[in-house]
Structure 1
Amino acid sequence: MLKDMFKKTSSQSKKMLDSAQIPDGLFQKCVKCNEILYAEDVVSNYYTCPNCGSYFRITPRERLSMVLDKGSFIEWSTEYPISDPLSFPGYKQKLEHVKTVTNLDEAVITGVGTINGTDVAIGVMSSDFLMGSMGKVVGEKITGLIERATEQRLPLIIFCCSGGARMQEGIVSLMQMAKTSQALKKHDEAGLLYVPVLTDPTTGGVMASFAMLGDVILAEPGALIGFAGPRVIEQTIGQKLPEGFQRAEFLLEHGFIDKIVKRSKLKQTLSILIKS
């Protein structure tokens, strides 16, 4: 009943937002076209804007529900103490706060599940947790995921989303680049498949390590992918960058990634890859 009452056109929705109290979560606003959208329409459209097609950032749990068979996911590596090697001022308090707000232990969830009945090791990074930055715990969890995938001879999928290395942990954070890359080398030597899926944004130390070491590298449409951001590069070289520089479409054209896949086709595409 309530759902039908609020199932309105976009213009009607805007008027209602101005004139009435609307239950939380009933509508969402697209940050690209500024359209007010019915939340269920966004969800049914794979968290993309029905008006302009732009992608909403989504949580790891939402991502897992989109690509894994229902009820198949078993989480790994859930107990890690907080890492604060530099005793960085206010860092522990910030971590505790973000944990409470996001209901996540860290910026990545790892585990095992099935895609159309085929077992797969999977990791999903979260932009909500300190912009998916990689510190010691993130590196440990991803390394553990890769090592267990190798031991159990499982194909591996990692959804990458990160602002890069976590500066509050200094060199300990940067070490995770080598650690994850070494684990992936052993996974590759075992003859196993690794597919990273690059989402918006995938940058910094994550992009410079496990995000770009896949056998097949997929990306979502429009994802920002690069080491340093476009504004930093422009300020450094003093030149204007090409239109769409570091977006998934630009990288596909220049051979850095293998395929751009819409969310609606992602489960099907991954299923084909892990079964081939």
Structure 2
Amino acid sequence: MSWLTEHVRPKLRSLLQRDVPDNLWTNCESCSQMMLTKELVRKKKVCPHCGHHMRATAHERMKWTFDDGQYTTIDLPAVPADPLHFRDSKRYTDRLKTARSKAGLDDSLLVAHGRIDGREAVVAVMAFEFMAGTMGSALGEAFLTACREAIQRKAPLIIFTASGGARMQEGVVSLMQMPRTTIGVEMLREAGLPYLVVLTNPTTGGVSASFAMLGDIHIAEPNALIAFAGPRVIRDTVREELPEGFQRSEYLKDHGMVDIIASRAELPALLGRLIGMLSPTANGDAKAARAS
């Protein structure tokens, strides 16, 4: 018994008590199926069982979008950190500091340039992981920077939206970003450059009421919530039951607000085709190819 007690039993106990990492498995919030996190990331955070598109970080979307995952981030201008000296249960500056530490971003918009299907493009991605992707003065300034970068490079601008709306800690300063971003879209149109919007879950509030719905083409991920006010608020206001799938991608496509619904696996190729069709240099490239 001593051999079993001293050697075999401790080995068995160590095997049974081995620590399992907390992030080894992920539970799908739609179908409740469990899957290996590594496998889920390989599938671009799309559930292999039900096709549910889970939230992705800004850097993940950049990596999935550009050729070979290669891109160059664009430096964004600094803005006043707390224009209203706002405080609720915490100071706004403290909230920003915490959000920057957790997300690894300066604010809720990341901008980069690179190639999609071999064509130059500027891509802006809203980071829901940064204060729910809310829109403040930093986002407005970053969006205008993305527009200017696209114009300078004579490249299309693609934006991935994901937002809870305007940032309450900046009050009217946040609301003023709605007309400012609209001006940025007009700058792109005057330059004759494509502006493509990819609507992801959720896209709401002042973002959906401004630059998110001004694209030349609107693409949406499956079953994404796209709205100004959420369904619960509307239901409580009108005191009626809402149609099935109300304010989801499929409902908006049926009613003419969304042009295309595409899964993440389809998006890079789809964006490449659209850039090729809409780019102002596309016809010139085709003529050059025929001449050669």
TM-score above 0.5, yes or no: yes
Q: 1:82–1:92: 8 Å Cα contact kept in structure 2?
A: no
The residue type equivalent to 2:53 in the other structure is: Y
Instruction: Give the match's secondary structure for 1:274.
Output: helix
Q: Which residue of 1 aligns with 2:133?
A: 132
Q: Which residue of 2 aligns with 1:185?
A: 186
What TM-score, normalized by structure 1, do the two folds share?
0.90
Cα deviation digits, residues 44-65 of structure 1 (max 9, x gap) = 2221111221111010111111
Instruction: Give the match's secondary structure for 1:218.
Output: strand
Map 1:48-127 to 2 at 5 A. Answer: 48-70=46-68, 72-78=70-76, 80-89=78-87, 90-127=91-128
**% identical aligned pairs:** 43
Gaps of 5+ in 1: 1-17
Distance 1:53 1:271 in 2: 23
What TM-score, normalized by structure 2, do the two folds share?
0.85
The residue type equivalent to 1:77 in the other structure is: D
Distance 1:71 1:234 in 2: 42
Q: 1:78–1:105: 8 Å Cα contact kept in structure 2?
A: no
State the 1:240 CA deviation.
Answer: 1.2
Q: Which residue of 1 aligns with 2:195?
A: 194
Q: 2:77–2:142: 8 Å Cα contact kept in structure 1?
A: no
Gaps of 5+ in 2: 1-15, 278-292
Q: For 1:40, which of 29, 38, 41 is the aligned residue?
A: 38
Aligned residues: 259
1:166 aligns with 2:167: yes
User: 1:19 and 1:50, CA in 2 relative to 1: closer, same or farther beyond 3 A?
Assistant: farther
Distance 2:210 2:140 in 1: 11
1:265 aligns with 2:263: no
Cα deviation digits, residues 3-43 of structure 1 (max 9, x gap) = xxxxxxxxxxxxxxx98631243211111222221012212
Instruction: Give the match's secondary structure for 2:217.
Output: coil
State the 1:268 CA deviation.
Answer: 0.4
Instruction: Give the match's secondary structure for 1:123.
Output: strand
State the 1:220 CA deviation.
Answer: 0.2
Q: CA RMSD in A?
A: 1.5
> Which structure has the larger Rg over C-alpha atoms?
2
State the 1:236 CA deviation.
Answer: 1.2
